[in-house]
Structure 1
Amino acid sequence: MFAHQVAAAQPLLIGLLLLWSSYGKVVRRDSAERTALPRLVGETRAAPAYHAVGAIEAVIALALLLPPAWTIEAVAAAVLAGGFTGYLIYAKIVVPDASCGCIGSSAKPVGRRAIGRTVLLLATALAATTADDGWWSIGSVAVVAVLVLEAAAFVMLSAELDRYWLLPLRRLRVEITHPLAGTATNDVPLAATQRRLLLSPAYRAVNGLLRSDIHDYWDDEDWRFVSYTARYDGRPATAVFAVPHQDSTPEAVRVAVVDETSGQTLYRPTLLATA
C-alpha cells in the first residue's frame, strides 16, 4: 500500500523537476552551443533542438502535474529520462568538454553526478508508471518525507546547485576547522592572486598533492583564501591557501591541507623555502 502511495506521488516530483529544467532551455538562447548538441545534430540545429527539448519537458511536466492522472504521462517521462541518460553518456564519451545543459546555465562538463541524476529521474518515472491514483490524492506524511528525501538526492546530484549549498558548507567548515582562518577585500582580481600563489613556496610545497585548478575563493578583510581539491596519503583533501592583500611577497602565502571529511589539518608546512 505504501509503495503504491509513493509511486502515485512521483509525478509531482518529476513534474516540478521537468518544469524547472524546461525553463532554462526555453529562456536561455546561448546554452545550446556549450552542450554536445552541435556535434550531435549540427550547429545550426542545436539551438532549435535545445528549445524543443525544453518545450517537450514543459508539456510533460504540466501533464504530470494537472489532473487527470494517465499512465501515458509517466511513460512519456520515462522515455524522456531514458533519452537524457543516453545523451549524457554520449556527451561524456564523445564531447567530454561539453556542458550538460540540463538545469541552469552552468558550463561544467558532464560528470557522473549529472548521469546519476538522469538515472534517478528514470527510476522515479518508471515507479510512476505503476501508480493507480493521482499525486493530489496522497496525504501521508511518510510519503511527503520520501519526496523530500528524493528532492534532496536530486539537489546533491546537481552540480549546478553546488554554489547554493555545497560551497557555503565547505567554506563554513574551512573557516571553523582550518588553521588559516583570518581576514579580506574584493578589490584584487583573482588572476593576480593566482599569479602570486603560483610563485609562492607554499604552492611548490603542496603542488604534487593538488588535483584541480582553483575550486573556490573568498575574501575576509586582509586575506584572500583560495581552495583546491587535493589528495594526501590517499585521502580526499582540500588545500587552502591564505594570500595577504597587503604583503605582495610570495613568501607571505600560507597553505594548509585539511581532510575533506573531518576538516582535520593533515599538512601545514611551517618553514617554506624561498628559492
Structure 2
Amino acid sequence: MLEMIAALQPLVVGAVLVWSARVKILSRHTAATVNRSALVRLVGERRALPAYRLLGGVELALGGLLLLPPAPRWEAAAAAALAVGFLAYLTYARRAAPTSSCGCLSARATPVSGRSVGRAGLLVAAGGLAAATTAGWTAALTARPLAGAAVLLVELAAVVALSPELDRAWLLPLRQLRVRLTHPLRGNSGVPLLASVQQLQLSDAYRRVAPLLRSDVREHWDDAGWRFVGHAARYQGRPATAVFAVPLTDAEPGSVRVAVVDDATGHTLLSLAGAPPATGPHLSVVPA
C-alpha cells in the first residue's frame, strides 16, 4: 500500500505545481498579487514580478514532467527541493511580513497562515515519497484503480483544505448550506430566536436580573413547549448563568421566567416567575 501511495505522489505534486503556475503566468492580476506578497521585500520591487513569473515557468515545466509518464526520480527530487523552497519562503513571509499575501494558488489576497505552511510541508513529504520509489504511477493505477483514485482524491482534498485562498470555492458554500439546513436563528419549533429574545427583554424578569447579566445569548434550546435562553451572569461575586424560560405558545412578556444558577455548584441562586401560561413548569421565587 505504501509503495502504491509513493508511486502516485508525482500526480499530486504535478497537479498542484501546474495549478500554481497558472496563477503566476495567466492571471490578469499577477502584478497586484506580487505587490501584496513578501516577494517584494525579499528580492526588491523591480525584481519581484520577473522572479514570480520565472517561478511560474519552473512550476509549469516541472509539474508537466511529473504528470507525463514515466516520472524519473530526479523529477520528484526536484519537486521536493522546490517544495522545501516554498516552505522556507512561507516561513519567512509569516515572520517578516505577516500581513503579506501568499500568492500561491490564487490571485485572491490571503495572508500566509499555518494552513499555507502545512500545505508546503505536505508537498515536501509527497515529493520525498515520490523520490524514494522507482515504481511508476501508471502501473500503480492500473494495478489498483479504485484504491489509487481514493488516495488521489484524499490528498487533493487535503491540499484544498490547507489552502485558505480556495476557501471561497468550497468552505463558504458549505457554511451557507449548513445555515440553510440548520436554521441557527430558529429553534426546533420554528419560532425565530430573535422573537424569543425580544419577548424576554420586555419582561419584568429580564429587567429585574439585567444588572447581573454579563453577556448576550450564549446558548438556547427548546424543551416541552419552552425555549430556554442562557446568558452569562454574576451573582454576589460568583460566576453564574441566567437561564430564561420563554413559552413558545404564549407571546406575553409576563410569562417569561428566569433562574440564576451558580456555575460552580449548579445550585439555583435566584428564581423569578411571571404570570404562567395555562400549561408548563412553575418557578416560584426562591431567595438567595
Q: What interval of TM-score do these two structures reach, taking the shorter chain for normalisation? A: 0.5 to 0.7
Contact 2:69–2:137 (CA under 8 A) maintained in structure 1: no
* 4+ runs deviating over 2 angstroms: 174-177
- In the superposition, the TM-score normalised over structure 2's length comes to 0.61
- Does the residue aligned with 2:185 lie in a helix, a strand or coil? coil
Q: Which residue of 2 aligns with 1:3?
A: 2
Q: Which residue of 2 aligns with 1:60?
A: 62
Is the Cα–Cα contact under 8 Å of residues 15 and 62 in structure 1 kept in the other structure? yes
Q: Structure 1's 206 and 154: CA in aligned 2 closer, same or farther, altered over 3 A?
A: farther
User: Residue by residue, what CA displacement relative to the aligned partner does 1:24-78 show, whole Å, maximum 9, x if unpaired?
Assistant: 0112332111110110000000000000111110111011111332110000000
Please say if 1:156 is aligned against 2:161. Answer: yes
Moved more, 42-51 or 66-75: 66-75
Say if 2:10 and 2:71, in contact at 8 Å, map to a contact too: no
Q: 1:123 aligns with which of 112, 125, 144?
A: 125
- Other-structure match for 1:247: none
TM-score (norm 1): 0.64
AA in 2 matched with 1:178: P
The alignment's C-alpha RMSD in Å is 2.1
1:174, CA displacement in angstroms?
A: 2.2
Whether 1:177 and 2:183 are equivalent positions in the alignment is yes
SS at 2:102's partner residue? Answer: coil
Question: Is contact 1:4–1:130 with CA below 8 Å preserved after alignment?
Answer: no
Distance (whole Å) between structure 1 residues aligned to residue 132 and residue 61 of structure 2 = 21
- Alignment partners' CA distance in 1, 2:71 and 2:80: 15
| Shift in Å, 1:143 | 2.4
In 2, Cα distance between equivalents of 1:24 and 1:168: 22
Deviation at 1:206, TM superposition (A): 7.0
Cα distance in 2 for partners of 1:5, 1:51 equals 34
Letter in 2 for 1:158: S
Deviation per CA, 1:119-141: give whole Å up to 9, x if none: 01111110101121221122212
Alpha-carbon displacement from aligned partner over 1:1-24 (angstroms, at most 9, x marks no partner): x21111111101111111011010
Distance in 2, matches of 1:173 and 1:206, equals 26
How much does 1:162 deviate? 1.0
Amino acid at match of 1:25: K
Which of 172, 191, 214 matches 1:167?
Answer: 172
Farther-moved stretch of structure 1 (51-60 vs 139-148): 139-148
Q: Distance in 2 between matches of 1:49 and 1:83?
A: 14
Per the alignment, residue 39 of structure 1 pairs with 41
1:145 aligned to 2:145? no
Q: Which residue of 1 aligns with 2:104?
A: 102
> How far apart, CA to CA, are the structure 2 residues paired with 1:136 and 1:120?
22
- Measured after TM superposition, the shift of residue 158 of structure 1 is 1.0
TM superposition shift of 1:80:
0.3
Matches of 1:105 and 1:36 in 2, distance apart?
14
Unaligned ranges ≥5, structure 1: 183-204, 210-231, 233-275
Bigger Rg, which one: 2
Structure 1, residues 161-192: CA drift from partner, whole Å, max 9, x if none? 1112111111222232311699xxxxxxxxxx
**Distance in 2 separating the partners of 1:53 and 1:13:** 19
* Structure 1 CA distance for aligned equivalents of residues 65 and 137 of structure 2: 12
- Indicate yes or no: 2:87 matched with 1:85: yes
Equivalence map 1:225-244=2 (5 Å): none
Letter in 2 for 1:89: T
